[in-house]
């Protein structure tokens, strides 16, 4: 099987993988910044260099994510929801429910036994339901986002956020800081608020086990534990959950070849 | 994708074009009529309750809601929306209302119809005919126009019984009596306003024509139950206003709907579909994003054929009006039938979710739909509040999955085309899955 590059150009970070026979052989991640076209180009160059490959070694490149339409060297883009399904199924075939926590949205996806999507729901247009809320609060607390999860585990008294709005939530966090609440308690409160939102989405599509978390949210141990506590069971989380959609994009291309069609499998749109 | 291929994906009805033109020309006709000293009214859709009366009194009518759709489809709505916002009206208010208020503010400031107004614009009215049917924003909207226009507002009322209440003894009769009384008051008011007398013979003729228009329009839509469906929702929306408002001359509309009936019947006989390769038969929930209708072409290329749409814009189930001699009672009965016609079926199935949501179930079943695309409108609560309920019922009772694509009828800033397509391709996977589930469970489709 030829090498396929999958690119997930997200609103926060851009992820690239090179896949052969459904297995990633190289990963790379860059901040997306404001120029999706430029970051896609740079991501490709650095990913190829990391893998010791050249452009000629790549049979096709498939793009997904918020900025997929800006990947000038990809002929197709695929829905991130389908990519997430394919990516997770390749790693955890037993999964029937996915919680995909991205920067600008959180989506819960139900799968059937063949790994195809049978239902999905996405949080409303509000940052409190997505990873963006963590970005905002990390900024208020002047910490690095990657430290938010471990720090929150030291909380003894999580702050209760009384709002469902990120703008008010930011104000509330500032108020709690001035009242003397610890960073640990504020972060734990944010995770709990997010877990409550996620739980509502899971209810809406209907839970079937196993359940996995993907996206950048899966890197946050505090969020994962909060969701587990809310839902009452352990989540499956891959080692690099933020790459799931990029892997899925490449797998869709491989599936298309196996089905005897042109790249990728149905469920794609042509970039014109 | 070549232009030639795009045209092939959706096969528009030839008889749609003259019908749409008949509707569109109503605006220019009213402007000319106003210049000739003839009165013009601005009217909301009132489901035939009041328009026949105005037509019988030879008052020209234009429709601000339809005009909002026209402005959005042509790409001219933004400046009117911006003007409404600048006038201090809320941005989350009905898109049709915002478009109309912005247009009116500009017309009033200029002292004449804006030169770039689509379809020739809407001329100064002598009357603002509002309706209490379904929507709260519509009542206050026309009152708000009083800031700009020196024209009285008249609101026609329509009782809104629930599914169970509508079947209680005497509710139907009392509701229709109430409507007839309201209409008599409207006639008296119009006679005072215009100095004209009601032409009762003409009203009877117009009422007969409208009942016949709706009967034919209903039959045309019944043809859409066959495979492949001969008529796409795009054609429905292009033509519905000759029935729904009803815009245009009823005699002309009647002839054009008959022509359409013949064409659709011919397509059924010859198995000609509105989409070349009908793969997915779809319900559309609520009004479309008028500013982004090209999305239906893209979906048609993927085999999506929209075979039926929201109940509210369809003609009522036909009933026998022969025993009703009073034209006002015939009008009232038809409007009441439109509102409550699906209630007996809803009651049989113990579905109390009301007139908006139940027909989706009945139609998804009888039109054998694979999926539904719901377009909740940020600026319209009435059109939106039932859609999640309908979505749940469709999935749980019929195994018909659906997609909610948020947007607005007029304000293109509220609709994300790429995001809708991103979700639409996922719905295809869901529809493929649930088709197998329906087959396993013995459904007919």
Shared domain for A107 and A221, answered yes or no, is yes
**By percentage, how much of chain A surpasses pLDDT 70?**
93
Select from B376, B433, B436, B437 the residue whose CB has the most chain A CBs within 10 Å, as the one to mutate to test that interface: B433
Let me know if residue A84 belongs to a domain. no
pLDDT at residue A261 in the model:
62
pLDDT at residue A131 in the model:
82
Q: Find chain A residues with C-beta within 8 A of B438's C-beta.
A: none
Shared domain for A102 and A217, answered yes or no, is yes
| A161 in contact with chain B, both atoms CB, cutoff 8 A | no
Q: What is the mean pLDDT of residues A7-28?
A: 94
| A3 in contact with chain B, both atoms CB, cutoff 8 A | no
pLDDT at residue A108 in the model:
97
Shared domain for A15 and A97, answered yes or no, is no
Q: In this predicted model, which residue has the larger pLDDT, A253 or B229? A: B229
pLDDT at residue A272 in the model:
45
Q: Report the residue from B1, B395, B429 with minimal CB separation from A117.
A: B429
pLDDT band at B414 (very low <50, low <70, confident <90, very high): confident
Per-residue pLDDT at B367 exceeds 70 = yes
Per-residue pLDDT at A215 exceeds 70 = yes
| A267 in contact with chain B, both atoms CB, cutoff 8 A | yes
Answer whether A81 sits within 8 Å of B401, measured CB to CB: no
pLDDT at residue B411 in the model:
85
Answer whether B429 sits within 8 Å of A120, measured CB to CB: no
Per-residue pLDDT at A37 exceeds 80 = yes
Contact residues, chain B to chain A, C-beta under 8 Å: 1, 395, 401, 406, 418, 421-423, 425-426, 428-430, 432-434
Q: Find chain B residues with C-beta within 8 A of A78's C-beta.
A: 425
> pLDDT per residue over B41-74, tens digit each?
999 988 999 999 999 999 999 999 999 999 998 8
Answer whether A118 sits within 8 Å of B428, measured CB to CB: no
Task: Look at residues A120, A40, A51, A58 and name the one whose alpha carbon lies nearest to residue A85.
Answer: A120
Shared domain for A163 and A232, answered yes or no, is yes
pLDDT at residue B98 in the model:
93
Residue of B nearest to A84 (CA): B426
pLDDT at residue A268 in the model:
62
pLDDT at residue B349 in the model:
84
pLDDT band at A170 (very low <50, low <70, confident <90, very high): confident
Go through B164-178 and write b for each residue having 16 or more CB atoms within 10 A of its CB, e for each that does not: eebeeeebbeebbee
> pLDDT per residue over B78-128, tens digit each?
999 999 999 999 988 888 999 999 999 999 999 999 999 999 999 999 999
Shared domain for A112 and A73, answered yes or no, is no
Shared domain for A148 and A119, answered yes or no, is yes
Q: What is the mean pLDDT of residues A197-214?
A: 95
| A206 in contact with chain B, both atoms CB, cutoff 8 A | no
Q: Find chain A residues with C-beta within 8 A of B406's C-beta.
A: 125
pLDDT at residue A25 in the model:
95
Let me know if residue A86 belongs to a domain. no
Task: Look at residues A134, A118, A132, A124 and name the one whose alpha carbon lies nearest to residue A191.
Answer: A134
Answer whether B418 sits within 8 Å of A69, measured CB to CB: yes
Let me know if residue A4 belongs to a domain. yes
Q: What is the pTM of this model?
A: 0.90
Task: Look at residues B47, B34, B26 and name the one whose alpha carbon lies nearest to residue B244.
Answer: B47
> pLDDT per residue over B231-251, tens digit each?
999 999 999 999 998 988 899
pLDDT at residue A161 in the model:
81
Q: What is the mean pLDDT of residues A168-193?
A: 89
Shared domain for A267 and A182, answered yes or no, is no
Let me know if residue A212 belongs to a domain. yes
CATH number at residue A182: 3.30.420.40
Residue of B nearest to A113 (CA): B433
Shared domain for A188 and A229, answered yes or no, is yes
Range from A181-185, A240-244, B216-220 carrying the lowest mean pLDDT: A181-185
Average pLDDT of every residue of chain B? 92
Looking at this predicted complex, what is its ipTM?
A: 0.88
**By percentage, how much of chain B surpasses pLDDT 70?**
98
Nearest chain A CA: its distance from B406 CA (Å) = 10
Q: What is the mean pLDDT of residues A99-110?
A: 93
Q: What does the alpha-carbon distance between residue A175 and residue A257 come to, in Å, rounded to a whole number?
A: 56
Answer whether A118 sits within 8 Å of B406, measured CB to CB: no
Question: Is the bond leading into B319 cis (omega within 30 degrees of zero)?
Answer: no
Per-residue pLDDT at A125 exceeds 90 = no
Let me know if residue A223 belongs to a domain. yes
Q: How many domains does chain A have?
A: 2
Give residue limits of the domains in chain B: 12-440
Q: What is the mean pLDDT of residues A170-192?
A: 90
Shared domain for A118 and A216, answered yes or no, is yes
> pLDDT per residue over A226-253, tens digit each?
999 999 999 999 999 999 999 999 999 8
Q: What is the mean pLDDT of residues B266-275?
A: 97
Q: How many CB atoms lie within 10 A of CB B320?
A: 6
Q: Which residues pair with A23 in a beta bridge?
A: A20
Q: In this predicted model, which residue has the larger pLDDT, B191 or B406? A: B191
Q: At how many degrees (to 10) do helices A221-231 and A183-205 cross?
A: 50
pLDDT at residue A224 in the model:
97
Select from A64, A79, A206 the residue whose CB has the most chain B CBs within 10 Å, as the one to mutate to test that interface: A79
Average pLDDT of every residue of chain A? 90
Q: Measured in Å, how far apart are chain A's first and last C-alpha atoms?
A: 27
Q: Report the residue from A80, A116, A119 with minimal CB separation from B422.
A: A80
Answer whether B428 sits within 8 Å of A266, measured CB to CB: yes
pLDDT band at A1 (very low <50, low <70, confident <90, very high): low
pLDDT band at B30 (very low <50, low <70, confident <90, very high): confident
**CB within 8 Å of chain B, chain A residues 53-112:** 69, 78-82, 112
Q: Find chain B residues with C-beta within 8 A of A81's C-beta.
A: 422-423, 426
> pLDDT per residue over B383-401, tens digit each?
788 888 899 999 999 999 9
Per-residue pLDDT at B3 exceeds 60 = no
What is the three-state SS of A47-97?
Answer: HHHHHCCCHHHEEEEEEECCCHHHCCCCCEEECHHHHHHHHHHHHCCCCCE
pLDDT band at B139 (very low <50, low <70, confident <90, very high): confident
Tokens encoding B99 = 């478009």
Q: What does the alpha-carbon distance between residue A96 and residue A99 come to, in Å, rounded to a whole number?
A: 10
Cβ atoms of residues A53 and A38 within 8 Å = no
Answer whether B426 sits within 8 Å of A125, measured CB to CB: no
Cβ atoms of residues B221 and B308 within 8 Å = yes
Q: Report the residue from A80, A267, A272 with minimal CB separation from B429.
A: A267
Shared domain for A262 and A193, answered yes or no, is no
* Domain ranges, residue A264: 1-78+243-272
Count the helices and strands in chain A (H runs, E runs). 8, 11
DSSP B75: T
Shared domain for A266 and A227, answered yes or no, is no
Answer whether B428 sits within 8 Å of A269, measured CB to CB: no
pLDDT band at B1 (very low <50, low <70, confident <90, very high): very low
Answer whether B428 sits within 8 Å of A82, measured CB to CB: no
Shared domain for A38 and A149, answered yes or no, is no
Answer whether B426 sits within 8 Å of A267, measured CB to CB: yes
Q: How many beta-carbon pairs under 8 angstroms link A with B?
A: 44
Answer whether A120 sits within 8 Å of B426, measured CB to CB: yes
Q: What is the mean pLDDT of residues B294-316?
A: 94
């Amino acid at each position: 099987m030829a090498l396929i590059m999958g690119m997930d150009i997200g609103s926060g970070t851009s992820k690239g993988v090179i896949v052969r026979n459904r297995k990633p052989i190289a990963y790379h991640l860059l901040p997306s910044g404001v120029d999706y076209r430029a970051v896609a180009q740079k991501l490709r160059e650095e990913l190829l260099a990391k893998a010791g490959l050249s452009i000629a070694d790549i049979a096709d490149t498939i793009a997904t994510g918020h900025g997929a339409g800006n990947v000038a060297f990809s002929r197709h883009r695929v829905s991130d929801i389908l990519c997430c399904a394919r990516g997770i199924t390749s790693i955890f075939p037993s999964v029937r429910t996915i919680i995909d926590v991205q920067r600008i949205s959180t989506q819960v996806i139900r799968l059937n036994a063949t790994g195809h999507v049978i239902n999905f729901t996405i949080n409303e247009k509000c940052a409190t339901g997505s990873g963006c809320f963590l970005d905002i609060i990390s900024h208020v607390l002047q910490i690095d986002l990657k430290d938010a999860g471990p720090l929150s585990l030291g909380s003894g008294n999580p702050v209760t956020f009384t709002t469902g709005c990120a703008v008010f939530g930011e104000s509330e966090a500032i108020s709690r800081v001035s009242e003397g609440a610890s960073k640990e308690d504020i972060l734990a409160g944010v995770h709990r608020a997010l877990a409550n939102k996620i739980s509502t989405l899971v209810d809406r599509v209907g839970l079937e086990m196993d359940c996995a978390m993907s996206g950048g949210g899966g890197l946050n141990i505090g969020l994962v534990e909060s969701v587990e506590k809310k839902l009452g069971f352990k989540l499956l989380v891959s080692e690099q959950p933020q790459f799931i959609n990029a892997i899925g994009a490449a797998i869709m291309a491989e599936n298309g070849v196996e089905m005897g069609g042109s790249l990728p499998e149905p469920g794609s749109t042509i970039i014109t | 994708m070549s232009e030639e291929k795009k045209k092939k994906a959706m096969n528009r009805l030839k008889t749609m074009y003259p019908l749409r033109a008949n509707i569109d020309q109503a605006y220019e006709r009213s402007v000319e009529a106003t210049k000739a000293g003839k009165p013009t009214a601005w009217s909301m859709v009132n489901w035939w309750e009041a328009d026949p009366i105005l037509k019988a009194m030879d008052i020209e009518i234009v429709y601000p809601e339809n005009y909002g759709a026209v402005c959005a489809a042509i790409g001219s709505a933004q400046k009117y929306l911006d003007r409404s916002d600048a006038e201090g009206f809320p941005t989350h208010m009905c898109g049709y209302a915002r478009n109309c208020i912005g247009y009116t503010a500009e017309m009033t400031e200029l002292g004449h119809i804006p030169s770039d107004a689509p379809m020739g614009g809407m001329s100064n009215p002598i009357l603002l005919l509002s309706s209490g049917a379904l929507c709260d924003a519509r009542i206050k909207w026309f009152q708000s126009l009083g800031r700009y226009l020196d024209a009285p507002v008249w609101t026609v009322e329509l009782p809104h019984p629930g599914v169970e209440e509508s079947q209680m003894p005497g509710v139907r009769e009392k509701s229709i009596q109430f409507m007839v009384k309201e209409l008599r008051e409207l006639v008296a008011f119009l006679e005072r306003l215009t100095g004209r007398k009601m032409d009762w013979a003409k009203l009877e003729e117009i009422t007969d024509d409208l009942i016949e228009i709706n009967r034919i329009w209903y039959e045309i839509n019944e043809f859409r139950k066959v495979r492949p469906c001969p008529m796409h929702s795009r054609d429905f929306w292009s033509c519905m206003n000759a029935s729904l408002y009803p815009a245009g001359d009823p005699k002309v509309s009647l002839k054009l709907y008959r022509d359409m009936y013949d064409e659709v019947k011919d397509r059924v006989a010859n198995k000609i579909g509105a989409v070349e390769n009908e793969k997915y038969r779809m319900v559309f929930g609520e009004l479309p994003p008028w500013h982004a209708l090209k999305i239906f072409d893209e979906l048609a290329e993927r085999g999506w054929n929209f075979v039926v749409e929201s109940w509210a814009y369809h003609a009522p189930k036909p009933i026998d009006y022969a025993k009703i001699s009073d034209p006002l009672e015939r009008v009232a009965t038809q409007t009441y039938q439109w509102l409550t016609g699906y209630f007996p079926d809803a009651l049989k199935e113990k579905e109390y979710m009301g007139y908006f949501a139940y027909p989706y179930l009945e139609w998804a079943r009888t039109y054998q739909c694979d999926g539904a695309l719901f377009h909740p409108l940020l600026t319209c609560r009435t059109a939106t509040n039932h859609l999640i309920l309908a979505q749940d019922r469709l999935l749980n009772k019929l195994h018909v999955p659906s997609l909610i694509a948020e947007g607005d009828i007029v304000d293109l800033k509220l609709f994300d085309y790429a995001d809708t397509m991103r979700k639409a391709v996922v719905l295809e996977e869901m529809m493929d899955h649930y088709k197998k589930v329906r087959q396993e469970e013995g459904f007919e489709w």
